[in-house]
Structure formats: C-alpha cells, structure tokens
Amino acid sequence: MKSLDLAGRSVLLVEDEPLICLDIATRLQDAGALVYAASHLEKALTLADRPDLSAGVLDFNLGAVDSSPICRKLVERRIPFLFHTGRVCPAFRQWPAAPVLLKPSHPGLIASVAALFR
C-alpha cells in the first residue's frame, strides 16, 4: 500500500480510548489524511460540521452515549464512514453502507477508509 493513500482527505476520528485514538490517528496521518479527533459526542458533532470533511472512523459506544447522532449527521451530509468498534451492535443495521471493523486494531483499517471513496 502506498504511504499516501488518503492524501488530501480529512477524516473525523471518534474514539474514546486514548491509546486506540492515538494509534488510529497516527496510521491515518501516515497515509496522508488530515485527522480531526474527538473522544466525546459534543466535540464530534462540532467536527462533523467541518466543510472539508471527507470521511469518518467512528467508535460506536462512547461511554454513556453512542455515535448515532454523528452517523445521522454524516449521512445527511453524504459523508461516508465506517465503524471501528469493540462489538457489533444491532443499531448498525441503520447504516448498512458503513463497514464494521473490530477493535483493538484492524489491519485493514487504512484500506477500508480508502475504499470509502470508491
């Protein structure tokens, strides 16, 4: 895989586990992406309004809340996203176009994000 598969892309990363967030952010940046990271719903919703946003990588469970409001906003804006989560939830059926990758670290993460643009 080329090191700049995501060059020119801005990715919203929503992850409440600090080490996993750092790992994913670093991998996305190494692939050329500009990363907007959030660990809380409120910040993620604000970042989801960025005009330059290209895609999202979302953890679904964010403590006492989930990322459903972010998913709805991204769908409304026609921004593709995928779930990077610890477990599969029935709620994912609401977003059948969103791939689901399992934590802690999916080896195909960068390729899966790049595939969102095809």
Each of the 118 residues of the chain gets a pLDDT tens digit; together they read 445 789 999 999 999 999 999 999 999 999 999 999 999 999 999 999 999 999 999 999 998 999 999 999 999 999 999 999 988 889 999 999 999 998 877 788 999 999 998 8
Whether 7 maps to a domain, the answer reads no
For the chain, the domain total comes to: 1
In sequence order, which residues have a C-beta less than 8 Å from that of residue 103 and are 6 or more positions away? 17, 20, 59, 84, 85, 86
Whether 23 maps to a domain, the answer reads yes
Q: Give the separation between CA 96 and CA 83, rounded to whole angstroms.
A: 11
Domain that holds residue 65: 12-105
Q: Give the separation between CA 73 and CA 21, rounded to whole angstroms.
A: 21
Contact 14, 59 (CB under 8 A): yes
pLDDT digits (tens, 9 = 90+) for 37-67: 999 999 999 999 999 999 999 999 998 999 9
Whether 113 maps to a domain, the answer reads no
CATH label of the domain that carries residue 55: 3.40.50.2300
